[in-house]
Structure 1
Amino acid sequence: MAKHSSSIDLVYGLDDKPRFSVAVFAALQHVLASFIGIITPTLIVGGVLGLGSEVPYLVSMALIVSGIGTFIQARRIGPVGSGLLCVQGTSFAFLSSILAAGFIVKGNGGGPDEILSTIFGVCFLAAFVEIFLSRFIEKLRHIITPVVTGTIITLIGLSLIKVSMTDIAGGFGAPDMGAPVNLALAGLVLITIVIFNRFQMHMLRLSAVIIGLSLGFVVAWSIGKVDFSGLSDLSLIAIPVPFKYGFSFDLAAFLPIAIIYVITALETTGDLTANSMVSKQPVDGPIYIRRIKAGVLADGVNSAIASTLNSLPMTTFSQNNGVIQLTGVASRHVALFIAAILALLGLFPIIGGVLQQMPKPVLGGATLIMFGTVAMAGVKIIAEAGLNRRNMLITAISIGMGLGVAGVPEVLSAMPDDIKNIIGSPLTIGALSAIFLNLLLPHHLDAAPHAASEHAGAQAESAESSEDGRAMTAATVSSTAK
């Protein structure tokens, strides 16, 4: 790790103060790299759950709380904040659980206000799971091992692909589902992202998604698929109102979201480790541990603030570590400019109003790649943990159960509604299965009785590999999941 860190040339270190023009330019590159990741989950939730006129306000809140969270993470307020140049943004990892929560309320006859009241209420309370775990994050890896993390991340990606494919076809309830023009728009976006990902220039690769979406948006507008007529009804300024939609709680919605907060804590550990590396900061020892605990604590606090201000849970964005390498600017003072830009953009609902008009096939073409990559990141983590019989058994049963209840929900038809709502979530039943099997199955499952010495050596090697790779594995997850 140290060798890798030393190979990075920094123009401005962590506590250096670059001049104004340099700081603004670096901040704009960080905003460009993270902007789509911040707003896309809100656009998906708004579209799938039919939140309509509330979407522009929700997009504004996502940008504002991203600015607030970035400021807290970099500035450090008491014990909260890593003090690194980290951008905080809306996490894709929560999407499937949040959509499930919304459908529970919708199934009970709730409208947009009731849906948002439950989502934000549940996310607020569940954020305290991560806040609590931040105090002993270094011990959590003994329970949430790479094979568990990989299985859950794979389920997250696979469960969201249906959302992407529905958008590609035209969106839920669209009268032209599957029309050739919809497929063509999605294909254009997908191909554009692939092409720009093949460029050698780092900034073009970082901007591939925003370029693909922009091109798809322009083409869709040119053929009459975009309607800006409703923008005149939007308010000029978006004012954050704490719990604007109320505060509700649902246990069935709470459990899967709480599980994701556990995974997010591990993701953040990996992100902060990678950020420490590129910023030439310690990646072991007491300073490092304090930084990780403070950063994970900030993640939980920022998610609680996000829920309070009507936005989805947040996490650190790992793509910004690439921007630090690209610019050579690791100064945490740049985060203050990033925070200001994001908050300023969030003040104007017209930005969210324009983005809301993005045709579903355009959005679906981009999210298909995003969610597919999330699933593959989970597969990679499982492979790195080792494809022995024990790990394959854990993964096979957990993914099978998760996808099984998603594909055939009737399997739980005889269950009481409360239980059905809890274990009917692919993520909940898959995650609980992975955690329990990981705790119950013996680690010597693959060892032959006459090969005790070989087993001991393999077990020691596996333990060493798991511990050494923990941080980088989590970083790999988050680099693709956001």
Structure 2
Amino acid sequence: MSPESSSPNELIYGLNDRPNPMAAVLAALQHVLASFVGIITPPLIIGSALGLTEHLPYLISMALMVSGIGTFIQARRPFGIGAGMICLQGTSFAFLGAVLSAGFMVKQRGGSPEDIMAMIFGVCFFGAAVQIVLSRFIGQLRRVITPLVTGIVITLIGISLIKVGMTDLGGGFNAPDYGAPGNLALGAFVLLVIILLNRSSTPWVRLSAIIIGLAVGCIAAWFSGKLVPQALPALPLVSLPVPFKFGFSFDWAAFFPVALIYLISTIETVGDLTANCMLSRQPISGPGYINRLRGGVLGDGVSCMLAATFSAFPNTTFAQNNGVIQLTGVASRYVGLYIGAILFLLGLVPVIGAVLQQIPKPVLGGATLVMFGSVAAAGVRILAQGPLDRRNMLIIATSFGVGLGVAAQPTLLHLLPKLVQNLFDSAITSGGITALVMCLLLPEGKPEASAPRVESEPVETHV
């Protein structure tokens, strides 16, 4: 089909238009560039924290491959699975805290890296089933999980992850030179580069700020002696996915926090899909819209189930790709097929993961500090869009107090049953459950005159 009018308020290619292959590949590459760092960073962080470095090339390959498959499904929408739009699936930062908690639980028991991954992917597999079920009840779910609860949880996720970013900036977990001036200077340099690039008037410089910051940081680390390229390990030419490669395990104590994040991730996805509908000139109300939401959330759940099956961490619909649609004026779902194919092909090459594994921790920390801070800022933005009346302020204060208080005093619950400790020892689960319970128990009164309700709009919360 021929492109539509390209006036400022129109799309160059609409949702069901078919760009020529060259235009589709170029548009797809821009989406991949905007999301690549977000896809590969969680495996790098989790692998470093839990001692999984031996398996990192495979984990990164699987992250890229499953992201490609999930993106293809979302665009193609087979059997009603998927939103039928450009919904790039990428590794979710929201699950980092819960996944690390599950991994450390196994590690403290003396479990091997394989035992750790068997537990993580086992609980994530069943968590994905929770999201698949929730996709059938999107209308009712939006009335229970309000923007207030979502904003509180997202803010707590960002605040919790900032500690991980700062640890990497200092040199990484248990690094012998942790906090060395050279590490701090390198991390601060990467942070400064990303900030300056984000202030650029050129849209693509802003979109590529993090990946450029990582590249510049690696060059600086090489000149300063912090990056000494290592010989690549003996890797197969092609990385083939193996179902449950590291086994399968399950523990209720590890499952509950993950299930809660799947619940919140579902609501986030609804917001991202709504924004995508607006950009793609699709209805944001009515039966067609609800069906698209159900298909999109179902696609997220299927993508997460595939991720757990093939040793990748939970996926979600990335929000930054909505910005790419807005920037390029290309909303064709057929571009999503190309994006999926490119990511899948990248995942077949394990040497990519081996190279990325060598990024110095201070460089990674300087970049992720911005990314995690952005998650917290997105949560604050959601909270600011609603009425900050006495009820809501009480819920916010109590949830933050409980969540951050438990995180600040990790031994507070050590005399309680192990299940309670594992469920409530993170800021995300303790604060999130507090917010949910208080919202259900405290009746919502009429908005106060001094704090009128602000109509919320879709907010991009994923990195």
TM-score bracket, shorter-length normalisation = over 0.9
Note if contact 1:299-1:314 (Cα within 8 Å) is conserved in structure 2.
yes
Q: How far is the alpha carbon of 1:234 from its aligned partner? A: 2.4
| Aligned residue number for residue 415 of structure 1 | 416
| Aligned residue number for residue 3 of structure 2 | none
Question: 1:89 aligns to what SS in structure 2?
Answer: strand
| AA at the equivalent of 2:104 | F
Q: Please show how residues 223-372 of structure 1 align to structure 2 within 5 Å.
A: 223-372=224-373
Question: 2:173 aligns to what SS in structure 1?
Answer: coil
| AA at the equivalent of 1:301 | V
Counterparts in 2 of 1:378 and 1:457: CA distance versus 1, 3 Å: closer
| Aligned residue number for residue 215 of structure 2 | 214
Q: Deviations over 1:218-276 (max 9, x none)?
A: 11123332243341422221110011001101111111111111111111111111111
Distance in 2 between residues matched to 1:189 and 1:375, nearest whole Å: 20
Q: Deviations over 1:47-95 (max 9, x none)?
A: 1111011011000000000000000000011120110012111111111
| AA at the equivalent of 1:266 | I
Task: Report whether the alignment pairs 1:184 with 2:185.
Answer: yes
Q: How far is the alpha carbon of 1:458 from its aligned partner? A: 6.0
Q: How far is the alpha carbon of 1:156 from its aligned partner? A: 0.5
Counterparts in 2 of 1:459 and 1:81: CA distance versus 1, 3 Å: farther
Question: 1:16 aligns to what SS in structure 2?
Answer: coil
Q: How far is the alpha carbon of 1:7 from its aligned partner? A: 5.5
| Aligned residue number for residue 393 of structure 2 | 392
Q: Please show how residues 101-250 of structure 1 align to structure 2 within 5 Å.
A: 101-250=102-251
Question: 2:79 aligns to what SS in structure 1?
Answer: coil
Where in structure 2 are there 5+ consecutive unaligned residues?
A: 1-6
Q: How far is the alpha carbon of 1:411 from its aligned partner? A: 1.4
Q: How far is the alpha carbon of 1:289 from its aligned partner? A: 1.0
Counterparts in 2 of 1:89 and 1:234: CA distance versus 1, 3 Å: same
| Aligned residue number for residue 12 of structure 2 | 11
Distance in 2 between residues matched to 1:201 and 1:35, nearest whole Å: 20
Distance in 2 between residues matched to 1:237 and 1:199, nearest whole Å: 39
Where in structure 1 are there 5+ consecutive unaligned residues?
A: 1-5, 445-454
Counterparts in 2 of 1:286 and 1:461: CA distance versus 1, 3 Å: farther
Note if contact 1:398-1:434 (Cα within 8 Å) is conserved in structure 2.
yes
Q: How far is the alpha carbon of 1:216 from its aligned partner? A: 0.4
Distance in 2 between residues matched to 1:332 and 1:79, nearest whole Å: 14
| AA at the equivalent of 2:61 | S
Distance in 1 between residues matched to 2:214 and 2:261, nearest whole Å: 28
| AA at the equivalent of 1:201 | T
Superposition CA RMSD, Å: 1.8
Q: How far is the alpha carbon of 1:364 from its aligned partner? A: 0.4
Q: How far is the alpha carbon of 1:459 from its aligned partner? A: 12
Distance in 2 between residues matched to 1:458 and 1:77, nearest whole Å: 49
Q: Deviations over 1:129-174 (max 9, x none)?
A: 1111111112212211111111111110111111111111110111
Question: 1:282 aligns to what SS in structure 2?
Answer: coil
Question: 2:375 aligns to what SS in structure 1?
Answer: helix
Question: 2:148 aligns to what SS in structure 1?
Answer: helix
Counterparts in 2 of 1:456 and 1:434: CA distance versus 1, 3 Å: closer
Distance in 2 between residues matched to 1:101 and 1:246, nearest whole Å: 15
| Aligned residue number for residue 450 of structure 1 | none
| Aligned residue number for residue 378 of structure 1 | 379
Distance in 2 between residues matched to 1:318 and 1:81, nearest whole Å: 16
| Aligned residue number for residue 4 of structure 2 | none
Q: Please show how residues 9-158 of structure 1 align to structure 2 within 5 Å.
A: 9-158=10-159
Note if contact 2:387-2:451 (Cα within 8 Å) is conserved in structure 1.
no
Distance in 1 between residues matched to 2:254 and 2:373, nearest whole Å: 24
Distance in 1 between residues matched to 2:442 and 2:243, nearest whole Å: 46
Question: 2:78 aligns to what SS in structure 1?
Answer: coil
Distance in 1 between residues matched to 2:448 and 2:388, nearest whole Å: 17
Distance in 2 between residues matched to 1:232 and 1:45, nearest whole Å: 20
Q: Give aligned pairs, total.
A: 458
| AA at the equivalent of 1:286 | P
| AA at the equivalent of 1:264 | S
Distance in 2 between residues matched to 1:248 and 1:8, nearest whole Å: 51
Distance in 1 between residues matched to 2:79 and 2:413, nearest whole Å: 48
Q: How far is the alpha carbon of 1:461 from its aligned partner? A: 6.4
Q: How far is the alpha carbon of 1:326 from its aligned partner? A: 1.7
Note if contact 1:49-1:99 (Cα within 8 Å) is conserved in structure 2.
yes
Distance in 2 between residues matched to 1:271 and 1:456, nearest whole Å: 27
Question: 2:90 aligns to what SS in structure 1?
Answer: strand
| AA at the equivalent of 1:338 | I
Q: How far is the alpha carbon of 1:416 from its aligned partner? A: 2.0
Note if contact 1:135-1:293 (Cα within 8 Å) is conserved in structure 2.
yes
Distance in 1 between residues matched to 2:241 and 2:177, nearest whole Å: 37
| AA at the equivalent of 2:414 | S
User: TM-score by structure 2 length?
Assistant: 0.96
Note if contact 1:8-1:325 (Cα within 8 Å) is conserved in structure 2.
no
Distance in 2 between residues matched to 1:235 and 1:303, nearest whole Å: 26
Divergent runs of 4+, >3 A: 455-462
Counterparts in 2 of 1:174 and 1:67: CA distance versus 1, 3 Å: same
Q: Percent identity?
A: 58
Question: 1:315 aligns to what SS in structure 2?
Answer: strand
